[in-house]
Structure 1
Amino acid sequence: MAAPEQSWSWFPALALGVSFLKCLFINAYHSTDFEVHRNWLAITHSLPVSRWYHENSSEWTLDYPPLFAWFELGLSHVGRLFDQDMLRVENLNYAGPSAVLFQRLSVVFTDAVFVLATRECCRCVREQKGSQDVLSRPSFVLAVLLLWNFGLLIVDHLHFQYNGFLFGILLLSVAKHLQGRHLQGALLFSILLNLKHIYLYVAPAYGIYLLRSYCFTQDHKDGSVRWSSFSLVRLLMLGGIVVSVCALSFGPFVVMGQLPQVLSRLFPFKRGLCHAYWAPNLWALYNALDKGLAVLGVRLKLLKEAELLRASMTGGLVQEFQHSVLPSISPSVTLVCTLLSILPALVSLWRRPRGSRRFLRCLLICALGSFMFGWHVHEKAVLIAVLPLSILAVESREDAGTFLLLTTTGHYSLFPLIFTPTELPIKVCLMLLFTVFSFTALRRLHRGQGSLLHPLEVLYLLGLVVVATACEVVFPLSPWKQRLPFLPLLVTSVYCSAGVSCSFLRLYVALLQPEHKPKQP
Structure 2
Amino acid sequence: MAIGKKKSNNSPQTISEPEIWSFITSQTSKSCFLCIALFAVFIRLAVALHPYSGANTPPIFGDYEAQRHWMEITINLPPKDWYRNSTVNDLKYWGLDYPPLTAYQSYFHGILLRFFDPASVALTSSRGYESYIGKVLMRWTVLMSDLMIFFPSVLYFVTVYYTGKLDDKKSSKAWHTLMILLNPCLILIDHGHFQYNCISLGLTTAAVAAILSNRDLVGSMLFCLALNHKQMSAYYAPAFFAYLLGKCLRRQRPIVEVLKLGLVVVGTFALIWCPYLNSVDAFLEVLSRLAPFERGIYEDYVANFWCTTSVAVKWKRLFTTQSLKLLSLVATVSTCLPSMIQLVWSPTKRGFLHSLLNCSFSFYLFSFQVHEKSILLPLLPASFLVVEEPFVFQWFIHSALLSMFPLLKRDNLVVPYAAMYGLFALLYHAPGVRKDAGVSSSIPFILKLFAAACSLVIHIVYITVTPPEKYPFLFEAVIMSLCFSQFVLILIYINIKQWAPSKISSEADTKKKRL
Question: Deviations along 1:448-486, whole A, 9 cap, x unmatched?
Answer: x5662543797378435434434x433444342655443
Are 2:88 and 1:88 aligned?
A: no
Q: Which aligned pairs between 1:212-251 and structure 2 lie closer than 5 A?
A: 212-213=246-247, 215-218=248-251, 229-251=252-274
**1:73-95: CA deviation from partner (whole Å, max 9, x where unpaired):** 11111111221112123122111
1:250-399 maps to which residues of 2 (within 5 A)?
A: 250-256=273-279, 257-277=281-301, 279-290=302-313, 321-323=316-318, 330-353=324-347, 355-394=348-387, 396=388, 399=389
> The residue matched to 1:64 in structure 2 has which SS?
coil
Give 1:131 shift.
7.3
> 2:406 touches 2:476 (CA, 8 Å); kept in 1?
yes
**Partner of residue 138 from structure 2, selected from 99, 103, 121:** 103
1:119 aligns with 2:155: yes
Measure the CA separation in 2 of the matches of 1:480 and 1:347.
46
The amino acid that maps onto 1:87 is V
Which is worse superposed, 183-192 or 477-486? 477-486
Query: Which runs of no fewer than 5 residues in structure 2 stay unpaired?
Result: 1-18, 54-61
Query: Is the counterpart of residue 434 in structure 1 residue 457 in structure 2?
Result: no
**What does 1:499-514 align with in structure 2 at a 5 Å threshold?**
499-514=486-501
Once the two structures are TM-superposed, the CA of residue 97 in structure 1 deviates from its matched residue by 1.4
Residue 409 of structure 2 corresponds to: 419
Alignment map for 1:111-260 (pairs within 5 Å): 111-112=146-147, 113-126=149-162, 134=170, 137-213=171-247, 215-218=248-251, 229-256=252-279, 257-260=281-284
Counterpart in the other structure of 1:25 = 47
| Among 28, 32, 38, the residue aligned to 1:7 | 28
Give 2:402's aligned amino acid: Y
> Does 361-370 or 421-430 show the bigger shift?
421-430
AA at the equivalent of 1:205: A
- Once the two structures are TM-superposed, the CA of residue 155 in structure 1 deviates from its matched residue by 0.3
Give, in whole Å, the separation in 2 of the partners of 1:499 and 1:430: 21
Q: Is the 8 A contact 1:345 1:508 kept in 2?
A: yes
Following the alignment from structure 1 to structure 2, what is the Cα–Cα distance between the partners of residues 47 and 469? Answer: 50
Partner AA of 1:258 in structure 2: A
**Change beyond 3 A, Cα 1:11–1:270:** same
Q: Distance in 1 between matches of 2:188 and 2:446?
A: 25
The 1:282–1:254 alpha-carbon spacing in structure 2 relative to 1, beyond 3 Å, is: same
State the alpha-carbon separation in 1 of the partners of residues 187 and 220 from structure 2.
Answer: 27
Q: Does the Cα contact within 8 Å between 1:44 and 1:73 map onto a contact in 2?
A: yes
Aligned AA for 2:440?
Answer: L
Quote the Cα distance in structure 2 between the aligned partners of 1:409 and 1:457: 18
- Report the equivalent of 1:486: 473
**Structure 1 residues 434 and 27 mapped into 2: Cα distance closer, same or farther (>3 Å)?**
closer
**Residues 349-386 of structure 1 deviation map (CA, whole Å, 9 limit, x = unaligned):** 11111x22211211111100111111111122122121
RMSD: 2.8
Q: Matched residues in 1 for 2:465 and 2:333: separation?
A: 43
Letter in 2 for 1:360: L
- Kindly tell me: are residues 131 and 369 of structure 1, through their superposed partners in 2, closer, same or farther at Cα, counting changes over 3 Å? closer
Equivalent residue number for residue 391 of structure 2 = 401
Note the C-alpha offset of 1:388.
Answer: 1.9
Q: How far apart, CA to CA, are the structure 2 residues paired with 1:251 and 1:458? A: 59
Deviations 1:142-193 (A, max 9, x none): 1100111100110000100001122111101111111111111111001111
Identity value in percent: 27
Tell me the TM-score normalised to structure 2 length. 0.84
Offset of residue 512 of structure 1: 1.3
Which one of 38, 42, 49 corresponds to residue 79 of structure 2? 49
SS at structure 2 position matched to 1:76 = helix
How many equivalent residue pairs? Answer: 470
Contact kept? 2:299, 2:370, Cα under 8 Å: yes
User: 1-side partners of 2:239 and 2:463: how far apart?
Assistant: 43
With a CA cutoff of 8 Å and minimum separation of 6, indicate the structure with the bigger relative contact order: 2
Task: State the SS of the aligned residue for 2:312.
Answer: helix
CA contact (8 A) 1:114 1:167 kept: yes
Residues 106-144 of structure 1, C-alpha deviation per residue, up to 9 Å, x if partnerless? 000110211101111111234886877x5xx22111110
Number of the residue aligned with 1:314: none
How far off its partner does 1:500 sit?
0.7
Is this contact kept in 2: 1:150–1:430, CA < 8 A? yes
2:44 maps to amino acid = K
Deviation at 1:244, TM superposition (A): 1.4
Which one of the candidate residues 483, 492, 495 is aligned to 1:496?
483
Secondary structure in structure 2 of the residue aligned to 1:207: helix
Residue 44 of structure 1 aligns with an amino acid whose one-letter code is: T
Distance across 1 between alignment mates of 2:168 and 2:254:
42
